[in-house]
């Protein structure tokens, strides 16, 4: 049996093809295949020695019950468990879930906010500088910016385009110091841009983090890590280098930018302290801030410049520029409100650190755009000072993280 099964050659392999043909031609009987007969006898005796195959119960393989073979119900239960296991394995495969999609959508939303914020700010600064070059009355220009923004929000609330904020007396009391600081910072920045180039104003305004640290340290007693203080060195040094090498340096313009920095630092401090727990969205918060600032600024603008000066300056600007001047005034007022509104909407979605980085990048876009559009002459040393100051602002934002 073993020889028959394990051998790879059949029994007739002993006869060659020529022997077979010769035997047929001679009509002789073929020899008997005795090995095959012997092997068949061995096979019969081997088969008779085997015992019948006994099948073990399915329960011994864990497929049936302990007391007997598996039933159809048990088999169906095991099959269901197998399918459940396969489902568990398929669920473990990492797939994009709702949280990942929501995070991606949030990043896109913030990116759109930032791009819109920077673009609107660039457009505002361009039109604002055009208006101030033809109409050098920064107090009225600042007042018109707040007035147009307040009008836009009143119309939006009246038409139900924007939700009317729910405010009370405590809200307006908390908002009052914020509005005072915002008014001073807005007017001071406009005065600065009426005297110097837009790029120079924003280079000086990039030193706002230095004012923030100094005010928080000496007036509020807040302490910062050493890297934060070290980051102030390039900010202060870069601003000083840019100021010294500025071709169109003007002390009024320089001081206006510095006062604006200080005022906006206090605005941020008052805003953090007074607006905790207030459920007002960023858009409505800035709308209320604009309205209150308008009420504060209007009497001071009338006292400093007055209607007679405004009328004379307006007639002169229209005679020189033409009807385009009216469009410039409207554009700078609308874009001022829009860029501030978008910035406050961005602050609702991001952390203060991310907002600070975005504000730094905004200044870079404004500086570059204003230099290109107004053909502002810039010396290499002046550009180096601006780059150092902006880089220091970036280091500050990273060190404060």
Tokens linked to 356: 């600070």
Residue 18 clears pLDDT 90, i.e. is over it: no
Of 340, 377, 364, 332, the C-alpha closest to 126 is 332
* Whether pLDDT at 68 is above 80: no
Q: How much is the average pLDDT of 280-294? A: 89
Q: Does residue 206 carry a pLDDT above 60?
A: yes
Q: How confident is the model over 322-368, as pLDDT tens digits?
A: 989 999 999 999 999 999 888 877 776 776 666 766 777 788 889 99
104/99 Cα distance (integer angstroms): 9
Tokens standing for 174? 């908390």
Q: Find the mean pLDDT for residues 125-137.
A: 95
Q: Which two tokens stand for residue 128?
A: 């604002």
- Would you say residue 103 has pLDDT above 70? yes
Query: Is 315's pLDDT higher than 70?
Result: yes
Q: What pLDDT score does 61 carry?
A: 44
Determine the average pLDDT of the residues in 186-208: 93
Taking residues 242-268, what's their average pLDDT?
91
Contact between residue 389 and residue 360 where contact means Cβ atoms under 8 Å apart? no
R_g of the chain, CA atoms, integer Å: 44
Highest mean pLDDT among 66-75, 132-141, 372-381: 132-141
Angle between helices 226-244 and 208-218 (to 10 degrees): 130
Query: CA 233 to CA 210: how far, in whole Å?
Result: 9
Q: What is the pLDDT of residue 356?
A: 67
What is the C-alpha to C-alpha distance for residues 191 and 227, in angstroms, rounded to an integer? 34
Lowest mean pLDDT among 73-77, 221-225, 258-262, 315-319: 73-77
Which segment of 65-74, 116-125, 189-198, 280-289 scores lowest on mean pLDDT? 65-74
- Backbone phi, then psi, for 244, in 5-degree steps? -65, -35
Task: Give the torsion sign (CA, 158, 162, 166, 167).
Answer: negative
Place of tokens 């930018």: 257
Which residue would you say has higher pLDDT here, 270 or 18?
270
Q: What percent of the chain has pLDDT over 70?
A: 72
Mean pLDDT of the chain: 78
pTM: 0.71
Mean pLDDT over 298-303 rounds to 96
Read off the pLDDT band of 167 (50, 70, 90): confident
Judged against a pLDDT cut of 60, whether residue 45 lies above it is answered with no
22: Cα separation from own chain's centroid: 95
Q: Which is more confidently placed, 31 or 218?
A: 218
Q: Kindly report which listed range (86-90, 166-170, 345-349) carries the lowest average pLDDT score.
A: 86-90
Give, in degrees to the nearest 5, the angle at Cα 136 between 324 and 304. Answer: 130
Look at residue 352 in the predicted model and tell me its pLDDT: 62
- Residue 218 Cα distances to 126, 165, 181, 212, 281, angstroms: 37, 36, 19, 10, 32
pLDDT at position 353, please? 60
The pLDDT of residue 12 is 46
Highest average pLDDT, of 60-74, 267-281, 387-401, comes from 387-401
């Amino acid at each position: 049996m073993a020889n028959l099964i394990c051998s790879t050659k059949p029994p007739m392999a002993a006869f060659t093809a020529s022997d077979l043909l010769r035997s047929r031609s001679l009509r002789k009987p073929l020899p008997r295949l005795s090995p095959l007969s012997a092997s068949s006898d061995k096979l019969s005796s081997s088969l008779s020695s085997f015992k019948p195959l006994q099948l073990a119960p399915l329960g011994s393989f864990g497929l049936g019950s302990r007391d007997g073979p598996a039933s159809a119900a048990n088999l169906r239960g095991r099959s269901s468990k197998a399918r459940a296991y396969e489902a568990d394995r398929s669920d473990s495969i990492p797939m994009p879930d709702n949280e990942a999609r929501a995070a991606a959508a949030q990043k896109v939303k913030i990116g759109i906010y930032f791009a819109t914020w920077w673009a609107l700010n660039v457009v505002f600064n361009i039109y604002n500088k055009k208006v101030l070059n033809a109409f050098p009355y920064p107090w009225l220009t600042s007042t018109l910016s707040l007035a147009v923004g307040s009008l836009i929000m009143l119309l939006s609330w009246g038409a139900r385009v924007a939700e009317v904020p729910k405010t009370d007396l405590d809200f307006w009391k908390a908002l009052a110091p914020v509005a005072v600081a915002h008014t001073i910072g807005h007017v001071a920045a406009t005065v600065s841009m009426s005297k110097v180039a837009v790029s120079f104003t924003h280079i000086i305004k990039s030193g706002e983090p230095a004012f923030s640290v100094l005010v928080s340290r000496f007036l509020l007693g807040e302490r910062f890590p050493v890297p934060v203080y070290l980051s102030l060195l390039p900010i202060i040094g870069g601003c000083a280098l840019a100021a010294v090498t500025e071709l169109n340096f003007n002390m009024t313009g320089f001081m206006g930018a510095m006062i604006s920095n200080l005022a906006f630092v206090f605005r941020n401090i008052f805003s953090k302290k007074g607006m905790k727990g207030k459920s007002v969205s960023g858009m409505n918060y800035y709308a209320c801030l604009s309205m209150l600032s308008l009420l504060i600024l209007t009497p001071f603008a009338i006292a400093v410049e007055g209607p007679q000066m405004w009328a004379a300056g307006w007639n002169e600007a229209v005679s020189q520029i033409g009807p385009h001047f009216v469009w410039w005034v409207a554009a700078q007022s609308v874009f001022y409100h829009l860029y501030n509104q978008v910035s406050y909407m961005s602050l609702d979605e991001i952390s203060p650190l991310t907002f600070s980085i975005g504000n730094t990048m905004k200044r870079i876009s404004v500086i570059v755009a204003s230099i290109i559009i107004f053909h502002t002459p810039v010396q290499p040393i002046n550009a180096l000072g601006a780059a150092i100051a902006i880089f220091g602002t970036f280091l500050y934002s990273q060190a404060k993280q």
